Chains A and B, each alone.
Chain A
Amino acid sequence: MSKTITIDGQAIPFEEGQTIIEAATDAGVYIPHLCHNPDYTPHGSCKLCTVKVNGRNCSACTFPAMEGQDITNISKELNDDREKITQMLFVEGNHFCPSCEKTGNCQLQGVGYYLNMKDNHFPHFFANRELDASHPDILIDHNRCIFCNLCVRASQETDGKNVFAISGRGINKKLIVNSITGQLKDSDINVDDRAAHICPTGAILIKRTGYSVPIGERVYDSKKIDAVSLKKEQS
Chain B
Amino acid sequence: MHLTPTEQQRLVVFTTAELARRTRDRGLRLNAPEATALMVDALHWAARAGLSHPEVVDSGLSAVTPDDVLDGVADLITEVRAEVLLKEGTRLVVLRDPVNAGAVPVRIGGVRTPAGEIELYAGRERMALRVTNTSTHVVRVSSHFPFEQVNDRLSFDRGAAVGRHLDIPAGGLVRWGPGETLDVTLVTSQEGAGGPPSPR
Q: Do A and B come from one complex?
A: no
Give me the interface of B with A, judged by CB distance under 8 Å.
Answer: none
- On A, residues with C-beta under 8 Å from B are none
